[in-house]
Amino acid sequence: MTTPTALTIAGSDSSGGAGIQADLKTFAALGVYGASVIAALTAQNTRGVTGIHAVPAEFVAAQIDAVFSDLDIGAVKIGMVAQAASIDEIAAALSRWQPRHIVLDPVMVATSGDRLLASEAVDALRTRLMPLASVITPNLPEAAALLGEHIAANEAEIEAQGHRLLAFGCRAVLIKGGHGEGAESIDYLVTSGHTTALAAPRVATRNTHGTGCSLSSAIAAGLAKGEDLELAVRNAKTWISAAIAAADRFSVGHGHGPIHHFHKFY
């Protein structure tokens, strides 16, 4: 029996709460073996990002080729990629290897508000990576930024933005409602034929560092285990909600602390 295996292509978070570190914790928590390709290094903690060092694009590609030439990758999660040259290399490599599932989290801004994607790389993200994606997972500000529009203010606007994002070639869009308001955090899974609203109670906590990274990784973990997209998204939403609810068990750093990836275990 093949061990379910997922690959994250993302940036490293030196404080361990987001990025590659959060992705690998998520895979492990959900019973999936995790491999990683580091596209960027960040000097980062719970208060913010103080530096970004992009890994040379050709070395990003070398990491991808090394992983796929040996491991049976069930799903790929793409997070922070930092620069257009890396996006081009990632797109070319994934086109060569043709993974079954690609979850693209269009990471542009950190929880702290620091920008993580160069503005000139946004177009490359839209034109090179979005057409390869099984699902993209923008939050409300990221969805608006990808479209060059205002932030959607209601369900109708969210659904309309989801359909405009589908036009870039991805097969599904999950617009996350964590930046919205109200007692519930509602995510919207938009496909060409259907929109599904997924609600969870909004948790009052400052410890939300790495939430977006971890949700997209949880979706990739479900896909690697053979779940269909809607089930993978539902299970990921349930798991991330519990990880946020348990976040205050931690006292880590002095800013936006991490969620509790291993809440089921301790």
Euclidean distance between CA atoms 243 and 258, whole angstroms:
9
Indicate if the alpha-carbon torsion angle 188, 211, 118, 20 is positive or negative: negative
Euclidean distance between CA atoms 165 and 131, whole angstroms:
10
Indicate if the alpha-carbon torsion angle 73, 79, 82, 84 is positive or negative: positive
Place of tokens 């809440």: 263
Phi first, then psi: give them for residue 14, nearest 5 degrees. Answer: -60, -20
Place of tokens 């991805």: 170
Euclidean distance between CA atoms 231 and 249, whole angstroms:
28
Q: What is the pLDDT of residue 111?
A: 60
60-103 confidence digits (pLDDT tens): 999 999 999 999 999 999 999 988 999 999 999 999 999 999 99
pTM above 0.85, yes or no: yes
- DSSP annotation of 139: B
**Residue 13 contacts residue 45 (beta carbons within 8 Å):** no
Ordered by start, the domain boundaries in the chain are 5-249
Residues 6+ apart with CB under 8 A from 172: 134, 135, 136, 166, 189, 190, 191, 229
- Provide, rounded to the nearest whole percent, the portion of the chain with pLDDT above 90: 78
The answer to whether domain 5-249 has CATH 3.40.1190.20 is: yes
Q: pLDDT confidence of 229, banded at 50, 70, 90? A: very high
Euclidean distance between CA atoms 171 and 76, whole angstroms:
15
104-163 confidence digits (pLDDT tens): 999 876 666 666 677 778 889 999 999 999 999 999 999 998 999 999 999 999 999 999
Angle 211-224/19-29 helices, nearest 10 degrees? 40
Q: What is the pLDDT of residue 116?
A: 65
Catalytic residues: 176, 208, 210-213
**Residue 191 contacts residue 230 (beta carbons within 8 Å):** no
Give the residue from 98, 28, 100, 94 showing the smallest Cα distance to 64: 94
DSSP three-state, residue 194: coil
Give the residue from 252, 236, 253, 199 showing the smallest Cα distance to 103: 236
Mean pLDDT of 175-194: 84
Euclidean distance between CA atoms 259 and 25, whole angstroms:
11
Euclidean distance between CA atoms 178 and 175, whole angstroms:
9
Which residues face 49 on adjacent strands? 44
